[in-house]
A and B are shown apart, each in its own frame.
Chain A
Amino acid sequence: TQLLEQSPQFLSIQEGENLTVYCNSSSVFSSLQWYRQEPGEGPVLLVTVVTGGEVKKLKRLTFQFGDARKDSSLHITAAQPGDTGLYLCAGATTSGTYKYIFGTGTRLKVLA
């Protein structure tokens, strides 16, 4: 059972545009992470959000954790071709057996 749904699944935009990627769940997470993965490489951790309502900024990337700690969003301002990649949210469930779950992924392509 996939607990973390990401949307959109695919996104192709022009350089300079803004975009938002969503990560949703019906489960509560103690924290959520966002990773970026490039073809043939392992995911690279971008950020961890811990507190409900928390907002973190990493240059042109803004991450938000939902108040109820069930969802998160990633907003990219003025996207650049270097932002191209697979974006994954992930988190550990707080109920039952420990499981670290990855989202379904959003494949972003930024065209020059």
Chain B
Amino acid sequence: DSGVTQTPKHLITATGQRVTLRCSPRSGDLSVYWYQQSLDQGLQFLIQYYNGEERAKGNILERFSAQQFPDLHSELNLSSLELGDSALYFCASSVLADTQYFGPGTRLTVL
């Protein structure tokens, strides 16, 4: 158990819909990272937040957005969903950037 929690574990929705994924970091970790993992693209960094502020941006689509709240939990919002958005979405947290602890992931299926 990494100490990072993610909800929900599974999510099935239809194209065009909007979903919100939630992440609670390890106690004391200020940084939260979001990743997308699909079979053909591997693990792709989406975005990082540090203490409520956006710190780094990766391959995140404009249809996707994230935020980190004062209690340090984070949400990833995915809108206008497409079939290709089906993937595992992981959240990770850290104190140091190069030591990340991953949550169990949310499996998103877009039908």
Contacting pair B56 A91 (CB below 8 A) = no
Contact assessment for B98 and A42 in the assembled complex, using a CB-CB cutoff below 8 Å: no
| Cβ of B92 under 8 Å from chain A | yes
Known contacts A31-B98, A92-B98, A102-B45: A42-B92 contact under CB 8 Å: yes
Known contacts A41-B105, A42-B92; A88/B43 CB under 8 A:
yes
Least CB separation from A33: chain B residue = B98
* Chain A: interface residue total (CB-CB under 8 A): 24
Chain B contributes a number of interface residues (CB within 8 A of A) equal to: 24
Separation in Å of the A91 CB from the closest CB of chain B?
7
Contact A100 B102 (CB under 8 A): no
CB-CB nearest in chain B for A100: B45
Q: How far is the CA of A42 from the CA of B103 in the complex (A)?
A: 6
B31, chain A: closest CB distance, angstroms: 10
| Residues of chain B whose beta carbon lies under 8 Å from any beta carbon of chain A | 2, 4, 33, 35, 42-45, 48, 55-56, 58, 90, 92, 97-105, 107
Beyond A40-B104, A101-B45: 8 further Cβ-contacts under 8 Å?
A42-B102, A48-B99, A88-B43, A99-B45, A100-B33, A100-B58, A100-B97, A102-B44
